[in-house]
Structure 1
Amino acid sequence: MSLTEPELPHTDYDFTPHWFEHAGVRQHYLDEGAGEPLLMLHGNPTWSYMWRHLVRDLRADHRCIVPDHIGMGLSDRPAESVYTYTAASRLADLERLVRHLLTERGLPDRGWTLVGHDWGGIIGMAWARRRPDWVSRIVMLNSTAFTMPDGYRLPWFLRLIRSGGRLPAWFVHRTNAFALAASRLGVTSPPPVRVRRAYTAPYRVEQQRLAVVRFVQDIPLAPVDPAWPLIDVGPVETPEMASLPMLVCWGGRDPVFDHRFLAEWVRRFPAADVHLFPHAGHFVQEDARDEVIACVREFLGRHTEGRS
């Protein structure tokens, strides 16, 4: 079903691949380690590669489940006649994958830690709000899971791609400009060339980029938008959700998710452990890699019993 297979491996992504197939479409995921499950969800235009350092550090004590969204990373690139590239489809994909992991790979239906970034926050929190009894902890990097904060306006480049007509979307689809720009502008400390190449490798040719375009076009801004139900969650979290231990690791120089998003996470989860890295960008896991790993490990160690 994949139109063009991305290339593997990368020297710092030496994990065993797994695939879950549904309706003829294969979704790639990592399943590394043993212990309580950690579900790590990436956004756009990244893939499971972004979690490589956390997986390598945490798999000794935890079971790290790290999927690639359909159309991204190493997952298949189905035609739109076969697969609908919407956030609602991604949520359905996640629920099917978790069911598969429970029934076929022996994972529990309790004790999960959700780790989200970018769109992974929206999709992951939508899943967690449906299954609050399955989730014991939440770790959020620069992301959202609620309606846009008051006074916020989407950056011009995202507005242009999202609703600027066919030409901007065609340009993003025809070139690899969006992934290339993200790999540079999403960090404040330029990573090695091999890392930038790894981030952009799954989107090297045009046939691999449809999901990148559709994710931008699916950004929910109003009730008429298809993804709106995933973020229209009311002004406060349910008691079940609000009581969950939460860690927020935040890059202070994110050009998309600014301080207003962080403030809303804190307002919704006032007991959250918040670590602001003022000089880190959108990819806080790259700019503050060691600090983020240390924060996550300490947080998980303090909350080994879930709702402690």
Structure 2
Amino acid sequence: MSGHLRPGGGTRLPGYPFDSRWFVHDGLRRHYLDEGDPAGAPVLMLHGNPSWSYLWRRLILALRGEHRCVAPDHLGMGLSDKPAQDRYPFTLASRVDDLDALTDHLIAERAAPERGWTLVVHDWGGPIGLAWAARHPGRVARLVVLNSAAFPNPHGPRVRPALRLPFWLLRETRLGERLFLRHHAFARLATLPPFGVRGRLPGEVRAAFLAPDDGHGHRVAVRRFVQDIPLGPADPSWPLLLRAEEGLGAFANRPVLIGWGLRDPVFDPVMLREWRHRLPRAQVHVYPRAGHYVLEDAHDRLVPAITAFLGR
């Protein structure tokens, strides 16, 4: 399948000239990219909600000359299968298990090394990736963090006042369900200023971010990510979030780069301060006019910074 086309449709994906790869586990097909030098040090890029591997297109193009770039689409998102809720649990634990299965496959069947990986995370990629890294403490050599978290919310267990109403609406109510499943409002807003980006995306780029939406199946995954956010010990994913937090200690003396858009309404400067506290030796690049999708708003500075960081 050409990376330029949406399966079953003609939507172009600008800047995404990649060969799709597929991995079947437990009867479900995961889509991923595996670009660049097969013998190069692997760079594993994990997207969050509601994005997909299209987020990484510029970074892959910059790195694939010397690195092996792996970028999966989480189940229910991107070009991966979109199972119903009775077929797949859509939990943090299931996401980490998926990543384990894929990386084990790459190591056993596609000659990827067991060590020397760089982990690049954004949004939900943080808890997924760091919980996975905690299972394999010697596998990840370097870490790149972009507007994400892998620890309990430093604001405390209660949602901040400015976010309380929309969070409750989207997570708990029938109206929120309609907004997710019928109108795909969360993903659409994430591609508009001032929510996910601060600068307006070109129309074809915004369309590409939304292209994998095939209706109800894709939208279930987007909503389940929101419902699975662990706010406290009563939430099912809380223990695994703590495991991800514990795993951060392994990176205290490893190379870390943090790239942060300061205009993110969720992953705000308090979140960044928490990362600095936990990883005080990290190289930090702050972009005051960039939002949540920092790789869209600040790609002209952030992609070269990551490239230089990995070239050291």
TM-score, normalised via structure 1 length: 0.92
Matched, 1:26 2:29: yes
Report the equivalent of 1:137: 142
Q: Residue 175 of structure 1 contacts residue 206 of structure 1 at CA under 8 Å; is this kept in 2?
A: no
Q: Please, which of 124, 129, 134 is the counterpart of residue 124 of structure 1? A: 129
Report the equivalent of 1:77: 82
Report the equivalent of 1:147: 152
Q: Please, which of 19, 25, 34 is the counterpart of residue 16 of structure 1? A: 19
Residue 97 of structure 1 aligns to a residue whose secondary structure is helix
- Trace 1:180-191 onto structure 2 (pairs within 5 A): 180-184=188-192, 185-191=195-201
- Trace 1:1-308 onto structure 2 (pairs within 5 A): 7=9, 9-34=12-37, 35-151=40-156, 153-154=159-160, 155-156=163-164, 157-163=166-172, 165-184=173-192, 185-233=195-243, 239-302=249-312
| Partners of 2:110 and 2:282 in 1: CA distance | 32
| Partners of 2:249 and 2:176 in 1: CA distance | 42
Alignment deviations for residues 70-94 of structure 1 (CA, whole Å, 9 cap, x no partner): 0000000112222111111000000
Residue 211 of structure 2 aligns to a residue whose secondary structure is helix
| Partners of 1:234 and 1:97 in 2: CA distance | 19
Residue 212 of structure 2 aligns to a residue whose secondary structure is helix
| Partners of 1:140 and 1:6 in 2: CA distance | 34
Residue 180 of structure 2 aligns to a residue whose secondary structure is helix
| Partners of 1:58 and 1:141 in 2: CA distance | 17
Residue 277 of structure 2 aligns to a residue whose secondary structure is helix
- Unaligned stretches of 5+ in structure 1? 303-308
| Partners of 1:257 and 1:239 in 2: CA distance | 21
Deviation at 1:232, TM superposition (A): 1.6
TM-score, normalised via structure 2 length: 0.91
| Partners of 2:7 and 2:230 in 1: CA distance | 30
- Unaligned stretches of 5+ in structure 2? 1-5
Alignment deviations for residues 179-218 of structure 1 (CA, whole Å, 9 cap, x no partner): 1100012111111000111111112523321100100000
| Partners of 1:97 and 1:117 in 2: CA distance | 19
Identity of aligned residues (%): 51
Deviation at 1:143, TM superposition (A): 0.4
- Paired residue total: 298
Amino acid at match of 1:299: F
Q: Residue 137 of structure 2 contacts residue 247 of structure 2 at CA under 8 Å; is this kept in 1?
A: no
| Partners of 1:243 and 1:77 in 2: CA distance | 39
